Chain A
């Protein structure tokens, strides 16, 4: 596992909002095909870190690499050039993101949600995009929901559709920002099942979650964030049974009790 290539690498990443520092020097590595679950209490910087990876937030210090490229910059002749908006868009299309609130485009049918990104971003023909959309909807168990509008679906269905939409532009890496936190409890498992399949297919995933069971079962590594720092990074068995910091122990006691 540790031989596979590095997809995300963070070196001393810092992020400030005004005079509040939310990321205080994050060192982090995720490898191709790995599932990383980021755990930790709210306000620990988990989501912020995730959003830095696809440049929805800009970092204020340190270095953050995705696929060997410095996020937000292009290196040429020993100089760093800030990316144009078009280049940022191209880089982002290789990184999928699944949001807590699903964020399906509410003025379009589910099918159009999957088709339009392919046509606009991947320059596919409408016919090709529709065919691929149907394959993906089948994969997440929504083959018959293409014509529905997002608000007509349950939260679990919407989140599965959002995952399918992310897959439609063929990302190398998918970021999940608390994908099940906005769901009714009985709908959580259908989304986790889709994510489990995705992990089994070899997708590189970074998942901010509160689902300890999912992390135990699927993750290759668990990263524990607290107070803007990455306190621990370890395989799930090791982290869940013998965490090395008091903060992690306290956190686990609270969530597992």
Chain B
């Protein structure tokens, strides 16, 4: 096409005209069998006489169920905020130069991870047996007035979460190149500024995927609080089924809402990851005029 020289064509060989694809029969059979199994299972549920589907649809929008969803989401948010803030503090303690702080931090993680979440929730719910009043001097309150089921649930879930989040945050902090810290230190950043403005923002990229996992885990772990009657989604579903005996149906209703919540959380994760993926972000030429007009 370009030069005037003709390129000699390999003429001895006849060019094949058609490509015959390999028939992958194993794949076809395996796929068909798996699909058939799925259809059978779905039909089993859909046509079962023991599942009263209209009841499921009736209760999806039920006011008590919806308020349970709200409580579940609230609990998730509260426990994750507590867990993340405390977890970050514990991670920073773990990485500090102070041996006492390091010891306290690793002991906390060991201790909390050793005790089942359910036991921790029950402990906080019953804390009044151990500490009957809260406060100092004249400002005393009975503990039970402060530790409502929601507070107990938040403490139980959040303090437990802090141990796990601290490991996530620690991994994120450790992933940052030493040169970034040295550059900031040599510019005169103080240790707290260095952590807040240089290390943590960069660590976010490593921290987000596992912490989204933690959020999704938390959404479901909140169901544990049904043992202390914290009015979450599962508690609501169970209290309805204990009066109408539609146990399977209400578990379906609860599951459906858990699926919705985790799906929303996953979508949120996708956008957060995008926001912090500055290393793969295309150059933004028009987004924001970074340079003010020179006066």
A149–B184 touching, CB < 8 Å:
no
A147-B183 contact, Cβ under 8 Å, with A116-B197, A121-B189: no
The smallest C-beta distance from A170 to any residue of chain B, in angstroms, reads 10
A103–B294 touching, CB < 8 Å:
no
Which of B184, B191, B279 sits near A85, CB closer than 8 Å?
B191
Docked Cα-Cα span, A89 to B189, in Å, equals 6
Is B18 in the interface zone, CB < 8 Å from A? no
B278–A149 touching, CB < 8 Å:
yes
Docked Cα-Cα span, A93 to B284, in Å, equals 31
The smallest C-beta distance from B13 to any residue of chain A, in angstroms, reads 45
Q: Which residues of A contact B191 (CB under 8 A)?
A: 85, 89
Q: Which residues of A contact B186 (CB under 8 A)?
A: 54, 56, 92, 95-97, 166
Q: Which of B3-11, B49-57, B217-225, B285-293 contacts A (4 or more CB under 8 A)?
A: B285-293
Docked Cα-Cα span, A99 to B193, in Å, equals 20
Query: Whose C-beta in chain A lies nearest to the C-beta of B292?
Result: A130
Docked Cα-Cα span, A247 to B233, in Å, equals 79
Using a CB-CB cutoff of 8 Å, which residues 124-146 of chain A contact chain B? Answer: 127, 130-131, 134, 146
Docked Cα-Cα span, A121 to B192, in Å, equals 12
B190–A105 touching, CB < 8 Å:
no
Using a CB-CB cutoff of 8 Å, which residues 194-252 of chain A contact chain B? Answer: none
Is A83 in the interface zone, CB < 8 Å from B? no
Query: Whose C-beta in chain B lies nearest to the C-beta of A119?
Result: B197
Docked Cα-Cα span, A103 to B179, in Å, equals 6
Q: Which residues of B contact A148 (CB under 8 A)?
A: 283
Is B229 in the interface zone, CB < 8 Å from A? no
Using a CB-CB cutoff of 8 Å, which residues 165-182 of chain B contact chain A? Answer: 177, 179-180, 182
Docked Cα-Cα span, A136 to B152, in Å, equals 56
Q: Which of A8-16, A24-32, A70-78, A106-114 contacts B (4 or more CB under 8 A)?
A: A106-114
Which of A101, A104, A112, A117 sits near B188, CB closer than 8 Å?
A117
A111–B291 touching, CB < 8 Å:
yes
Q: Which residues of B contact A99 (CB under 8 A)?
A: 179, 182-183
Using a CB-CB cutoff of 8 Å, which residues 189-239 of chain B contact chain A? Answer: 189-191, 193, 197-198, 201-202
Interface string of A153-181 (1 = CB under 8 A from B): 00000000010011001000000000000
Query: Whose C-beta in chain A lies nearest to the C-beta of B186?
Result: A97
Query: Whose C-beta in chain B lies nearest to the C-beta of A101?
Result: B179
Is A90 in the interface zone, CB < 8 Å from B? yes
A105-B198 contact, Cβ under 8 Å, with A130-B292, A149-B278: yes
A85-B180 contact, Cβ under 8 Å, with A130-B292, A146-B291: no
Is B28 in the interface zone, CB < 8 Å from A? no
Docked Cα-Cα span, A127 to B119, in Å, equals 55
Is B185 in the interface zone, CB < 8 Å from A? yes
B188–A105 touching, CB < 8 Å:
no
Is B281 in the interface zone, CB < 8 Å from A? yes
A103–B193 touching, CB < 8 Å:
no
The smallest C-beta distance from A50 to any residue of chain B, in angstroms, reads 11
Which of B180, B185, B292 sits near A105, CB closer than 8 Å?
B180
The smallest C-beta distance from A233 to any residue of chain B, in angstroms, reads 25
B291–A89 touching, CB < 8 Å:
no
Residue with the greatest number of chain B CB neighbours at <10 A, chosen from A92, A99, A134: A92
B190–A85 touching, CB < 8 Å:
yes
A127–B193 touching, CB < 8 Å:
no
Query: Whose C-beta in chain A lies nearest to the C-beta of B285?
Result: A147
A127–B292 touching, CB < 8 Å:
yes
Using a CB-CB cutoff of 8 Å, which residues 25-78 of chain A contact chain B? Answer: 54, 56
In the A-B complex, the 7 residue pairs with the closest CB atoms: A93-B188, A103-B183, A97-B186, A103-B179, A121-B188, A117-B187, A89-B190
A–B pairs, 13, beta carbons within 8 Å? A86-B190, A97-B183, A99-B183, A103-B179, A104-B183, A106-B279, A109-B290, A111-B290, A121-B188, A134-B294, A146-B291, A147-B291, A151-B279
Please list the residues of chain B having a beta carbon within 8 angstroms of any beta carbon in chain A: 177, 179-180, 182-191, 193, 197-198, 201-202, 278-279, 281, 283-285, 288, 290-292, 294
- Additional A-B contact list (19), CB under 8 Å, known A90-B188, A117-B184, A169-B187: A56-B185, A85-B190, A92-B185, A92-B186, A93-B188, A96-B187, A101-B179, A104-B183, A105-B180, A105-B184, A106-B180, A106-B202, A107-B278, A109-B290, A120-B197, A147-B288, A148-B283, A149-B283, A169-B188
